[in-house]
Amino acid sequence: MIYKYDNMNHEAVCLPIGQLYPFIRHPYQVRDDAEMEELTESILENGVLSPVIVRPLENRENEFEIISGHRRVRAAQKAGLTQVPAFVFDISREEAAVLLVDSNLHREHLLPSEKAFAYKLKMDALSHQGQTSGQLGQKWSRDQISDSESGRQVQRYIRLTHLNRELLDLMDQGKMAFSVGVELSYLPGDLQHLLREEMEIFDCTPSYSQAVRLRKAYNDGFLDMEMIEAILGEPKPNQQEHIRLKRENFAKFFPSHYTPAQIERDILKGLELLKRQRDRNRDSR
């Protein structure tokens, strides 16, 4: 059977799923969600209608790297298939990286982290092919990275790859704004981790204004735990009233290795015991 792809004729072949490997640094998540279940049901009924795209792995016989079709391969596995139709493109990893990114950017519901690592993968591939990465967002045509977003916006997405996984997850879950993530990406990893702990204690995420001030404090050499607490502890417009506890007032009651989650757990347990004691005292009167 002959299929057309990118104005070129390619013959699809059937390849064992066991010979297919995910693309290294593949930026798009393959989630076992409702959409995956729908795709699996479709494959059970109709088979894999659109062949995946792969490239031969260097120095490995009959083994291939998936360029496009990671979700289809996963769904085919869930449907019990042992092989899938595939187009085999004998291209370099850099060419494959560009093709991988471009073939997935049109998808709906891409997470911020997926777009961030996709743009980073494509930028690195173009850079390796002789482009100058310092031109990104300045002299580069935006079409070299994205045909729908400006070079400046692409730059901002790529900044997100400097966030730790915990902060990226907050963005992907819609709990932290994109602009806030960009600002926090300029903090080093240890301060990002400390900030995440303080966010758990204060049960909040920084506003854009707070994120800008956190970044400025770091650039000025003043950002530490006390400064983070001071900035996060400020009331925000329309914010419900919270009870704020300073770390130094309760730190002595917990082991030094305790995480914020463990501290919260023990505080809640202690409050529950206190409530029971008050209830018993009231009943005995």
Q: How many whole angstroms separate alpha carbon 200 and alpha carbon 129?
A: 43
Where residue 43 sits, what CATH number does that domain have? 3.90.1530.10
Does 234 share its domain with 268?
Answer: no
Task: Flag whether 151 is in a domain.
Answer: no
Does 282 share its domain with 254?
Answer: yes
Nearest alpha-carbon partner for 116 in 193, 187, 66, 168: 168
Going by the DSSP 8-state scheme, the letter that residue 19 receives in this structure is: G
Does 265 share its domain with 222?
Answer: no
Enter the tokens of residue 183.
């600002």
Does 240 share its domain with 252?
Answer: no
The pLDDT value recorded for residue 265 is 84
Task: Flag whether 58 is in a domain.
Answer: yes
Q: How many whole angstroms separate alpha carbon 244 and alpha carbon 236?
A: 14
Domain boundary at 47, 69, 92, which?
92
Q: What is the largest CA-CA distance in the chain?
A: 89
Q: How many whole angstroms separate alpha carbon 92 and alpha carbon 261?
A: 46
Task: Flag whether 152 is in a domain.
Answer: no
Task: Flag whether 237 is in a domain.
Answer: yes
Dihedral sign from CA coordinates of 122, 123, 128, 131: positive
Q: Do residues 61 and 107 lie in contact, with contact meaning Cβ atoms separated by under 8 Å?
A: no
The pLDDT value recorded for residue 230 is 92
Does 203 share its domain with 274?
Answer: no
Does 50 share its domain with 4?
Answer: yes
The pLDDT value recorded for residue 237 is 60
Task: Flag whether 145 is in a domain.
Answer: no
Q: How many whole angstroms separate alpha carbon 110 and alpha carbon 27?
A: 10
Does 168 share its domain with 253?
Answer: no
Task: Flag whether 264 is in a domain.
Answer: yes
Task: Flag whether 100 is in a domain.
Answer: no
Question: CA triplet 69, 71, 75: central angle to 5 degrees?
Answer: 115
Does 256 share its domain with 195?
Answer: no
Q: Do residues 206 and 184 lie in contact, with contact meaning Cβ atoms separated by under 8 Å?
A: yes
Tens of pLDDT along the chain (285 residues) come to 333 344 444 688 999 999 999 998 888 888 888 889 999 999 999 999 999 999 999 888 889 999 999 999 999 999 999 999 999 999 998 999 989 998 877 777 789 999 999 999 988 888 876 544 444 443 444 456 776 788 889 899 999 999 999 999 999 999 999 999 999 999 999 999 999 999 998 889 999 999 999 999 999 999 999 999 999 988 766 555 556 677 777 778 888 788 777 888 888 888 888 888 888 877 776
Enter the tokens of residue 169.
């997850």
Quick one: the chain helix, strand, coil %, rounded to 5? 55, 10, 35
Does 228 share its domain with 256?
Answer: no
Task: Flag whether 108 is in a domain.
Answer: no
The CB-side HSE value for 206 (13 A sphere, CA atoms) comes to 27
Nearest alpha-carbon partner for 29 in 123, 111, 125, 124: 111
Does 282 share its domain with 235?
Answer: no
Q: Provide the number of structural domains found in the chain.
A: 3
Where do runs of H (alpha helix) occur along the chain?
34-46, 70-78, 93-104, 112-128, 151-159, 165-172, 178-184, 189-202, 208-219, 225-232, 247-250, 260-284
Does 258 share its domain with 181?
Answer: no
Does 60 share its domain with 45?
Answer: yes
The pLDDT value recorded for residue 251 is 78
Residues 6+ apart with CB under 8 A from 227: 217
Nearest alpha-carbon partner for 229 in 187, 184, 197, 260: 197
The pLDDT value recorded for residue 131 is 47
pTM greater than 0.85 (yes/no): no
Q: Give the domain range for residue 270.
A: 248-285
